[in-house]
Amino acid sequence: MTVEQGVQAVDQFPVGMRVLAVDDDQTCLLILETLLHRCQYHVTTTDKAQTALELLRENKNKFDLVISDVDMPDMDGFKLLELVGLEMDLPVIMLSAHSDPKYVMKGVKHGACDYLLKPVRIEELKNIWQHVVRKSKLKKMKGIVTNGESEGNSDQNGVRANRKRKDQLEEKDEEEQEQERGNDKKPRVIWTRELHNKFLAAVDHVGIKNAVPKKILDLMNVDNLTRENVASHLQKFRLALKKITNEAKQQANMAAANSHFMQMSSLKGFGSFHHSPIPLGSSQFHGGAATMRHYPSNRTFAGMFPHVSSSLPRNLHNDGGHMLQGTPFPPLENLHINSNNKAFPSFASQQSSLLVAPSMVLEGHQQSTSPSFSPHLEINKRLEDWSNNIPQSNVHSEPDALGWNMFGNSTNQTYFCRDTDFGSSSAAQADSLQMKQQHENIFSPMTVAQLLRSSSANEGLFMGQQKLENGFMASDAGSLDDIVNSMMTQEQSQAEFSEGDWVWVA
Amino acid sequence: MNTVVVAQLQRQFQEYLVSLYQQGFLDNQFTELRKLQDEGTPDFVAEVVSLFFDDCSKLINSMSRSLGRPESVDFKQVDSGVHQLKGSSSSVGARRVKNVCISFKECCDVQNREGCLRCLQQVDYEYKMLKTKLEDLFNLEQQILQAGGTIPQININ
């Protein structure tokens, strides 16, 4: 082969693959050589194993593959196989008239890449180049592992050039794949306190009714935030608000209701928050659901929400259970009952997003629909953030916690206090005090009772909901205690649960 | 070019080749060898079979020596020889020779010297017979070429 052919060979692998053929039988050797030529390989032949070794040792770089007969007088083919594998790490194909599986096994054990039976067919030889590719891939990986050890050999230029090309092709493919995967993935947006505050400010600025993602996005002026991020966050926010409002309404209606609370499984109704029934997709929406339908457009809620967040007890627990975990409980009124963790569908399914995105909801309540809702702490923080906008005491958080606890039983009853006017911080401020008081009332043990007896629809709703969730009547303070107790027992670790103030209505 | 002569020779060639297959002298592997022959390697088949016959001769001689003295037969060596013969005969498509090798190996495995000797004899006979036949075939080929014709590619079922 001329040098030219050699160069071509490198570029057109497997054409020009350099094979060393060893067989003491000259008939077979000639046939093999011809077959290999027909496959467009570059062939060197020898009838002596020893010669083959010498050729290889002289320049292991000269060959890509070795094909060797098994039965040779001067050296056992398996021995040659071993030596080639050890010294040169080239792929070796065994050739034999022995079809006995024992031989095949021996070949494999000695490291043969393949074992061909005589008479060799050209079809079999046409695919032997795969062994070269495979081996070089392994080498490449080994090289990576051993930090370029395989690069050491200067002898292997030719082979390496061959392999490099293949490797490059492979690398390229891998890179492309990675890029594609990367492009498909969207980086998750974490709604931090600051981010949420910006969000709130933006919403507040445009007004909850005018809150569209695009406007909010523009006002927020945050890099790497997409309209979609804002849109989903806004949706959650609205859902939280809605829930709270719904719950408030429900409470009023639930006083007489005996059934289980409804759960807001779908927040889709948000748009019709003010007027339409709460979309309760949840199957758990029992009788009481109907009562929840009307949402009060309760601006106060909105006002409360922000505060609610602060009022959320950090410790909202829920470690044990799924209680509303730490999500900030929006004003009691806003507590919504989530019978199945579905109160906030989005939350339920997005624990993390719960923390992050719906901080607003969190404000209201944190739904810890899933036991693993560890982010509640974050939510608490978030609530704090929210609440930070408005001076609040921790008392507020209690109520939230209370609400949470109450609802946060294993069924993830989460109550959301949704404030329709969530975003209005000013209103929130004005209402914060109100809320605080309410919260206080609600969340302290006594306030729970008060809540129950309270004429506030929200409160009633809250309690009622709780009761519903637990199958209790909510109107009775005493029973509320029962509820609380039972919930407490239901809930496992309510460690953080009561910061003291909030009564955990379980 | 005398097309009639060429055609006649070609027909003769074809018939002869087919008969060799039918009589079991040759098998599919020989067809494969013929396929490998092209303008670049016009004598490939002739070259291969020539090598084969040389191998046969050498192996038979060495095995004969090994089987020579009844009291000290080196069956291992005989087995090795048979093995190689089997390999090469199968590679060229020398079917009959290969078949004798199979029997030969069996005798060797049980160290049946008599059997081995018989097989040895048979192998010798078969390879020489094939050699003659193929020589005739190559002669026909030459005649066709000399008459200006081309050697037909024959598909043997």
Spatial contact of A329 and A355, defined as CB atoms under 8 Å apart: no
Q: Is A30 on the interface with B (CB under 8 A)?
A: yes
Q: Do B36 and A96 touch (CB under 8 A)?
A: no
Give the nearest chain B residue to A28 (CA atoms).
B88
Q: Do B51 and A27 touch (CB under 8 A)?
A: yes
Q: Do A27 and B90 touch (CB under 8 A)?
A: no
Q: Nearest 5 degrees, angle CA A435-CA A440-CA A446?
A: 140
What letter would DSSP give residue A261?
Answer: P
Q: Which of A308, A439, A333, A320 is nearest to A370 (CA)?
A: A320
Query: How high is the ipTM of this complex?
Result: 0.92
Rg (CA), chain B: 18
- Reported residue count of chain A is 506
Give the minimum alpha-carbon distance from B78 to chain A in angstroms, rounded to a whole number. Answer: 13
Token digits of residue A435:
């809320």
In the predicted structure, residue B54 carries a pLDDT above the cut 90: yes
Which of A27, A71, A122 minimises the CB distance to B91?
A27
In the predicted structure, residue A31 carries a pLDDT above the cut 70: yes
Residue B95 is predicted with a pLDDT of: 95
Q: Do B80 and A71 touch (CB under 8 A)?
A: yes
3-state secondary structure of B23: coil
In the predicted structure, residue A190 carries a pLDDT above the cut 60: yes
CA neighbours closer than 13 Å in the CB half-sphere of residue A440: 9
Beta bridge partners, A42, equal: A18
Residue B155 is predicted with a pLDDT of: 74
Q: Is A84 on the interface with B (CB under 8 A)?
A: no
Buried b (16+ CB within 10 A) or exposed e, A1-30: eeeeeeeebbeebbebbbbbbbbbbbbbbb
Which of B36, B54, B80 minimises the CB distance to A34?
B36
Q: Which of A50, A29, A9 is nearest to A132 (CA)?
A: A9
Q: Which of A22, A27, A125 to mutate to test the interface with B (most CBs of B within 10 A)?
A: A27
Q: Which of A22, A26, A29, A31 to mutate to test the interface with B (most CBs of B within 10 A)?
A: A31
**B81: chain A residues, CB-CB within 8 Å:** none
What's the first-to-final CA gap in chain A, in angstroms?
87
CA neighbours closer than 13 Å in the CB half-sphere of residue B95: 12
Q: Do A119 and B41 touch (CB under 8 A)?
A: no
Give the integer Cα–Cα distance in Å for A351 and A377.
12
The model's pTM: 0.47
Give the nearest chain B residue to A37 (CA atoms).
B36
Give the integer Cα–Cα distance in Å for B143 and A404.
105
- Return the residue matching tokens 């009844």: B70
Which of A34, A35, A97 minimises the CB distance to B83?
A97
What is the identity of the amino acid at A371?
Answer: P
Give the integer Cα–Cα distance in Å for A232 and A209.
16
Residue B61 is predicted with a pLDDT of: 95
Sheet with A42-46: strands ordered across: A42-46, A18-22, A65-69, A92-96, A114-117
Give the nearest chain A residue to B79 (CA atoms).
A71
Which of B48, B80, B83 minimises the CB distance to A31?
B48
Helix boundaries (H) for chain B = 3-22, 28-36, 44-68, 75-92, 95-109, 113-146
Q: Is A74 on the interface with B (CB under 8 A)?
A: no
Q: Which of A306, A309, A296, A238 is nearest to A267 (CA)?
A: A238
Give the integer Cα–Cα distance in Å for A93 and A88.
14
- Return the residue matching tokens 């050209």: A122
- Return the residue matching tokens 């005090």: A433
Beta bridge partners, B26, equal: B94
Residue A232 is predicted with a pLDDT of: 87
Q: Is B43 on the interface with A (CB under 8 A)?
A: no
Per-residue pLDDT tens for A378-407?
444 554 554 455 444 444 444 444 434 443
Nearby residues of A178 by Cβ (< 8 Å), 6 or more positions away:
none
3-state secondary structure of A373: coil
Q: Nearest 5 degrees, angle CA A287-CA A292-CA A297?
A: 170
In the predicted structure, residue A156 carries a pLDDT above the cut 70: no
Per-residue pLDDT tens for A440-462?
444 444 444 444 444 444 444 44
What is the identity of the amino acid at A207?
Answer: G
Q: Is B114 on the interface with A (CB under 8 A)?
A: no
Per-residue pLDDT tens for A39-77?
999 999 999 999 999 999 988 788 999 999 998 888 888
Q: Is B12 on the interface with A (CB under 8 A)?
A: no
**Which of A 169-208 lie inside 8 A of B, CB atoms?**
none
Q: Is B113 on the interface with A (CB under 8 A)?
A: no
Per-residue pLDDT tens for B72-117?
889 989 999 999 999 999 999 999 999 999 999 999 999 999 999 9
User: Mean pLDDT over residues A425-431, rounded?
Assistant: 43
Give the nearest chain B residue to A117 (CA atoms).
B87
Give the integer Cα–Cα distance in Å for A7 and A26.
30
Give the integer Cα–Cα distance in Å for A364 and A372.
19
**A27: chain B residues, CB-CB within 8 Å:** 48, 51-52, 55, 88, 91-92
Which of A24, A30, A119 minimises the CB distance to B90?
A119
What letter would DSSP give residue A424?
Answer: -
Nearby residues of A367 by Cβ (< 8 Å), 6 or more positions away:
A324, A325, A327, A338, A341, A343, A344, A347, A348, A354, A361, A373, A404, A408, A412, A414, A416
Token digits of residue A78:
């398996």
Q: Do B48 and A122 touch (CB under 8 A)?
A: no
- Return the residue matching tokens 């719906």: A358
Tell the burial category of B39 from Cβ atoms under 10 Å away from its Cβ (0-12, 13-18, 19+).
Answer: exposed
Helix boundaries (H) for A61-156 = 77-83, 101-109, 122-126, 129-145
Per-residue pLDDT tens for A197-253?
888 888 888 887 778 888 888 888 888 888 888 888 888 888 888 887 787 777 777
Give the minimum alpha-carbon distance from A105 to chain B in angstroms, rounded to a whole number. Answer: 19
A454 or B13, which is more confident: B13
Which of B32, B41, B48 minimises the CB distance to A27?
B48
Buried b (16+ CB within 10 A) or exposed e, A112-133: bbbbbbbbbeeeebbebbebbb
Give the minimum alpha-carbon distance from A125 to chain B in angstroms, rounded to a whole number. Answer: 14
Token digits of residue B121:
């004899």
Strand ranges for A161-272 from DSSP E = none
Give the integer Cα–Cα distance in Å for A289 and A145.
62
Give the integer Cα–Cα distance in Å for A314 and A323.
13
Q: Which of B62, B88, B104 to mutate to test the interface with A (most CBs of A within 10 A)?
A: B88
Residue A363 is predicted with a pLDDT of: 41
Give the integer Cα–Cα distance in Å for A189 and A353.
9
CA neighbours closer than 13 Å in the CB half-sphere of residue A38: 23
How confident is the prediction for chain A on average, in pLDDT? 61
Does residue B118 come out as left (phi exceeding 0), alpha (psi in the -120 to 50 range) or beta?
alpha
Q: How far is CA A23 from CA A29, A51, A223, in A?
A: 6, 11, 70
Give the nearest chain B residue to A120 (CA atoms).
B91
Q: Do A121 and B32 touch (CB under 8 A)?
A: yes
Q: Do A97 and B90 touch (CB under 8 A)?
A: yes
**B52: chain A residues, CB-CB within 8 Å:** 27
- Return the residue matching tokens 């999500």: A327
Give the integer Cα–Cα distance in Å for A282 and A266.
7
